[in-house]
Amino acid sequence: MKAYLLNKAGGVENLVLSEIEKPILKADEVLVETKAISINPVDVKVRPYEEALSMILGTEERPVILGWDISGIVAEVGADVTDFNVGDKVFGMVNFVGQGKAYADYVAAPADQLAVIPEGISFEDAAATTLAALTALQVLTGRVKAGDRVLIHAGSGGVGHFAIQMAKSMGATVVTTSSSKNRDFCLALGADEHIDYREQKFEEVLSDIDFVLDGMGGDILENSIQVVKSGGKIVSLPTHSFEAALQAKADAAGVALEFVMVQSSGGDMNTLAGMLKEGTLKPHVSVTFPFEKLQDAHLQIESGRTVGKAVVTL
């Protein structure tokens, strides 16, 4: 089969399309013939750094195969798998954190991390509704309730565009940020208010926010503290540890800071499948690349300007 091998950390040229053996299945896994792959900022962030690669993939061995988000067709089932049959169309985020080995024709995936793709949903849309959608679901569930005023930074991005839709479904009022070119997109997703971060400082116009989903970090995380009401919460996706001064500022304001790392989950994939089936969640794939151009998909995500999701097709 074909797969992109990364022999050492570096630029996109280090992702080398190679011919290798198909994976050997464990008893609890299914072999998925990959039809679409979604690319995330994490793929792009770990690619250039050996330390980051080793930390997220849990191995210092090289080469590695990057990627976690797939949709495809079940080609084989492991001896202990009862939930899936050959021919089923499935999607999921495989072994995150760890080795998903998604940039390949065939992926061995634990059956309990997958769900069946609802009828009428394309492989591209299914592949898009994996890591980013799981993140939005796992962050918002239990933290946002009806009536809350929620601020979602980068509402036009992969996580943000799912988070706006989910927070609205939960009965929250949603304020979101992006540049002006994505204003209409964010409002069409259900956002009640939009702030163009280039024109307006959100911290000067917002207050009384119950919950912030921060996909940006840095000053945006710090300035978010002052718009949250006492007792409210901020979840930061890019910031995994909070400096003492930042924590002190949050403590003084009575605001809880939290980092959440998305986890593979078949249960949550089934929840997303339900939302896709009902039409309450709609992925937006703004750009697709053929498998041979996967390096270009990395450059697209690296731009930081992707609207919704970027997907690679096989």
Cβ-based nearer residue to ligand NAP, 71 or 156: 156
Only segment of 62-70, 109-117, 128-136, 244-252 that touches ligand NAP (CB under 6 A): 128-136
Using alpha carbons, select from 154, 314, 152, 146 the residue that is nearest to residue 235.
152
Among 30, 108, 115, 301, binds ligand NAP (CB under 6 A): 301
For the chain, list the strands marked E by DSSP.
2-6, 15-19, 29-39, 69-77, 89-93, 106-110, 114-116, 149-152, 173-178, 193-196, 209-214, 228-236, 256-259, 285-290, 309-313
C-alpha 58/C-alpha 192 separation (Å) is 41
Q: At what angle are helices 266-278 and 131-140 packed, to 10 degrees?
A: 100
Q: Residue 255: count other Cβ atoms within 10 Å of its Cβ.
A: 21
C-alpha triplet 304, 306, 311: angle, nearest 5°? 120
Instruction: List the interface residues with ligand NAP, window 26-55 (CB under 6 A).
Output: 40-42, 45
133 interacts with ligand NAP by CB under 6 A: no
Binding mask 74-113 for ligand NAP (x = CB under 6 A): ----------------------------------------
Among 177, 224, 265, 313, binds ligand NAP (CB under 6 A): 177
For residues 104, 31, 313, 153, the Cα torsion angle rounded to the nearest 10 degrees is -90
Using an 8 Å Cβ cutoff, are 66 and 89 in contact? no
Only segment of 5-13, 142-150, 174-182, 243-251 that touches ligand NAP (CB under 6 A): 174-182
Number of chain residues interacting with ligand NAP (CB under 6 A): 32
Q: How far is CA 207 from CA 47, 76, 123, 225, in A?
A: 38, 53, 41, 10
Binding mask 154-173 for ligand NAP (x = CB under 6 A): x-xxxxx-------------
Q: Tokens for 176?
A: 């979101």
Least separation in angstroms between CB 176 and ligand NAP: 8
Least separation in angstroms between CB 220 and ligand NAP: 6
Instruction: Answer whether the bond into residue 41 is a cis peptide, omega within 30°.
Output: no
Cβ-based nearer residue to ligand NAP, 156 or 224: 156
C-alpha 162/C-alpha 300 separation (Å) is 19
Cβ-based nearer residue to ligand NAP, 156 or 313: 156
Instruction: List the interface residues with ligand NAP, window 210-269 (CB under 6 A).
Output: 215-216, 237-238, 260-262
Q: Tokens for 101?
A: 């080995």
Task: Name beta bridge partners: 75.
Answer: none
Among 129, 135, 224, 264, binds ligand NAP (CB under 6 A): 135
Least separation in angstroms between CB 150 and ligand NAP: 15
Q: Which residue is nearest to ligand NAP (CB)?
A: 157
Least separation in angstroms between CB 187 and ligand NAP: 13
Q: Residue 251: count other Cβ atoms within 10 Å of its Cβ.
A: 12
132 interacts with ligand NAP by CB under 6 A: yes
Cβ-based nearer residue to ligand NAP, 8 or 181: 181
Q: Tokens for 151?
A: 């601020």
* Interface residue list for ligand NAP (CB under 6 A): 40-42, 45, 131-132, 135, 153-154, 156-160, 177-179, 181-182, 197, 215-216, 237-238, 260-262, 301, 304-307
